[in-house]
Chain A
């Protein structure tokens, strides 16, 4: 009698990477499925639009998978990947400049409003959300690059302080300091505009 094969979602990242390295593409698909969402959220916040964020996710996965020796033994794949994705997003932002978000934020004039936003707009919440996003994007842009990266890794990727420190290759104390001053700046910006 042989043991039943273990389903991919039950495998650890390390086990999936080992399988990927011997050519099992399903392992890559599982890793992608597992981390695409936090990677996308980080990239979206740093770039402000869907197309560029997906490009950064693609670039980040490619770089992480082709430079696996860069993280092994020093961090988890998750923190390594999210660091690489955030770096890719910052690089892309420098190359292309931050473009305003489409399509959700395009609905200010009432034209070209996507269906999901039209429905939300009936209650007024959709437009409020678009406005809030625009203000938060501008507030985020007031931060230094390293503050922005730290804050987004915490707030959007759902990493703990310890994981952010691991991803950034720094101490928890430094992460706390960056997060604190980032939030001070964000709060000041938002309070000036009576957004909070």
Chain B
């Protein structure tokens, strides 16, 4: 139990701050208040928090005008419009439509993987390749139902060492780190850190 005669240990600085902010629960607030009653010097810390809060509140930014609010709202509405009002007669596609499509897709993957005996657990068997799908039209509101990969995934590999036969290399630029390479008449630029000088 804590009271003015037995105020307990000094509260953590964060607790004094929370006391000043009125953020402590009733029990903890009572404990801190008891400690402060017995240690008036602690009250200075609490006052410091109040002073800072007061200074902060004195320079609360003025509100924009009604016209500025209206213009901002209009811009928000214009940008979120595709997700906004449905055209007259629009009927939201029932959830079971997507559930049915998903179930059919899962069933198809399972059947195809058994039939072909290929694929691994880490790599889902592709139902269709990207080039086999042509999205003619899609309502933006249905974008959440779209599953797929971005066109580029992972590192892009132009060529590996076996594809390149170095005929000559000359320093390019001041740092000599990027070499301009020539293979026959076709100039090539190698993208990367370049050869280590010790390897030359």
State the A residues within 8 Å of B (CB): 20-25, 28-29, 32, 36-37, 40-41, 44-45, 50, 53-54, 57-58, 61-62, 65-66, 69, 104, 116, 129, 132-133, 136, 155-156, 160-161, 176-177, 179-180, 183, 186-187, 190, 195-196
Contact pick for B72, options A21, A45, A57, A196, CB 8 Å: A57
Question: Contact between B144 and A25 (Cβ–Cβ < 8 Å)?
Answer: no
Question: Contact between A28 and B23 (Cβ–Cβ < 8 Å)?
Answer: no
Q: What is the total of A-B residue contacts with beta carbons within 8 Å? A: 94
Question: Contact between A45 and B55 (Cβ–Cβ < 8 Å)?
Answer: no
Most buried by A among B17, B68, B72, B90: B72
Contacts of A65 in B (CB 8 A): 76, 80, 83
Give the interface SS of chain B, mostly helix, strand, loop or mixed: helix
Q: A4 → chain B, closest Cβ, in Å?
A: 24
Question: Contact between B52 and A41 (Cβ–Cβ < 8 Å)?
Answer: no
Closest to B144 in A: A69
Contacts of B123 in A (CB 8 A): none
A45-B17 contact given A23-B84, A160-B23, A196-B55, CB 8 Å threshold: no
Q: A52 → chain B, closest Cβ, in Å?
A: 12
Question: Contact between B55 and A195 (Cβ–Cβ < 8 Å)?
Answer: yes
1/0 contact string of B44-83 vs chain A (CB within 8 Å): 0000110111011011111110001100110111011001
> Roughly how many angstroms separate A45 CA and B61 CA in the complex, as a whole number?
8
Question: Contact between A161 and B23 (Cβ–Cβ < 8 Å)?
Answer: yes
Question: Contact between A58 and B17 (Cβ–Cβ < 8 Å)?
Answer: no
Contacts of A25 in B (CB 8 A): 77, 84-85
Contacts of A156 in B (CB 8 A): 56, 60
Q: B137 at interface (Cβ–Cβ under 8 A)? A: no
Q: B39 at interface (Cβ–Cβ under 8 A)? A: no
Question: Contact between B55 and A180 (Cβ–Cβ < 8 Å)?
Answer: no
Contacts of A44 in B (CB 8 A): 61
